[in-house]
Amino acid sequence: MKKCALFVALLLLGTLAFAQKKTMPDIATVINSKADAIEPKVIAWRHHIHQNPELSNREYETAKYVTAHLEALQLEVRTGIAHTGVVGILRTGKPGPVIALRADMDALPVTERVDVPFASRAKGTYLGQEVGVMHACGHDTHVAMLMGAAEILTGMKDQLRGTIVFIFQPAEEGAPPGEKGGAGLMVEEGVLDDPKVEAIFGLHINSATEVGTIRYKPGGQLAAADIFNIRVKGKQTHGSTPWTGVDPIVTSAQIIMGLQTIISRQTELTREAAVISVGKIASGVRNNIIPEEAEITGTIRTLDTTMQNTIHERIRHVATTIAASAGATAEVEIIRGTPVTYNDPALTAKMLPTLERTAGKDHVELINAITGAEDFAFYAQKIPGLFLFVGGMPKGQDPAMAAPHHTPDFYVEDSGMKLGVRLLCNLAIDYLNGR
């Protein structure tokens, strides 16, 4: 009799558990519902930040805006990291991994031309000049998406374990000359150390990727970005008698052409892409004076450390030998900037099912490496990282017609942010709960 009663009790418990499991919505459905509900707030946050952009290391009001939101969520909040960075910490109270989710806050010295009600009319000072200021790379959407994810995840604290660190980072576009900033300074000031973060995730919206799409690449995804300065010294003379001097402008032109052959004739491009671009040449004061000096400034983009070092050596060799052949001298300075943004292959493989579940397998695309750069790389140098692209282009638009990032006509749809919010939440939940 006792055995029969025990059997019936176990049967009832099993039936109840099955019914609860059947009626309880899965966590993906919960995230989708919460993302739908919070979308109007995310859009409002994005519009506010877009209308009030701030340059690198000057994100004072943006930091206050983010801080107020995180404090309202009753998170542990830290401010003033790397000048204006803000960190919110969600401790679930249950043992588990520590992960970080990151967004960048700074805008660019670009005057907006996009005809939207929330367009920026802001002005700022950049390198001593008054400039328009615009979120011309989508960082406003990154902040809004992470604010949304923070609110959703905080509300689901009881269903999580471990700890989430929400990083709102300044100066991704680079600190002003003479200042330190960005992800490198955040790392230096210990943003990954207390609590000790074991993996980090970041998103970037893209103006030429259709809304609803996620793009990724294991390994080196974005390039290292270095700066070169070449000072060419000649001999000043009258423009009517060039043979009495050494022309640094003509020599600079020859050096510029020589730099291009490093890529086209001396670099193994089947291994990885590489770029050398001259962005500025400055020399002279008057039409009939051949000046004494000229300065060439540009960028180097590489996706392989060995190739990076080789290209640096060849820039020095090309510049100095061409200058010497003209009777001039060349001083070459190369400043190492952002390293390669490297997606940890094991972490990428682990989270790929999350990407496919969030967007649908047909909307997750494996891409080739990109010669743009991202200082998320500094986090990924220290711990496993995964950096992803989400679409911001209106559905059905030709990507060739999308205005590039960093331009006055840059535009991304508000509707692209909901996928980003869902993705950040799902990455966090799946990693923390060991899915």
DSSP 405: T
- 93 Rama sector, left if φ>0, alpha if ψ -120 to 50, beta otherwise: left
Cα–Cα distance, 108 to 113 (Å, whole number): 14
For residue 114, the SS3 value is: coil
- Give 3-state DSSP helix, strand, coil % of the chain, rounded to 5: 40, 25, 30
**210 catalytic per annotation:** no
Question: What tokens does 10 get?
Answer: 């176990």
Tens-level pLDDT at each residue, the chain (435 residues): 545 554 444 455 454 444 444 444 688 899 999 999 999 999 999 999 999 999 999 999 999 999 999 999 999 999 999 999 999 999 999 999 999 999 999 999 999 999 999 999 999 999 899 999 999 999 999 999 999 999 999 999 999 999 999 999 999 999 998 999 999 999 999 999 999 999 999 999 999 999 999 999 999 999 999 999 999 999 999 999 999 999 999 999 999 999 999 999 999 999 999 999 999 999 999 999 999 999 999 999 999 999 999 999 999 999 999 999 999 999 999 999 999 999 999 999 999 999 999 999 999 999 999 999 999 999 999 999 999 999 999 999 999 999 999 999 999 999 999 999 999 999 999 999 986
Cis peptide before 195 (omega within 30 of 0): yes
Could you tell me where the beta strands, DSSP code E, fall in 106-258? Answer: 123-126, 129-132, 163-169, 199-210, 214-216, 219-222, 224-233, 237-238
- 49 Rama sector, left if φ>0, alpha if ψ -120 to 50, beta otherwise: alpha
Strands 98-104 and 163-169: parallel
Cα–Cα distance, 53 to 107 (Å, whole number): 6
Any idea what the Cα angle at residue 420 is, between residues 418 and 423, rounded to 5°? 110
Candidates 294, 301, 302, 298; CA nearest to 322 is: 294
**106 catalytic per annotation:** yes
Of 54, 106, 210, 226, catalytic: 106
Question: What tokens does 166 get?
Answer: 């929400």
pTM above 0.85, yes or no: yes
Cα–Cα distance, 13 to 296 (Å, whole number): 77
Of 104, 151, 172, 293, catalytic: 172
- E strand or H helix at 151, and its extent? helix 139-155
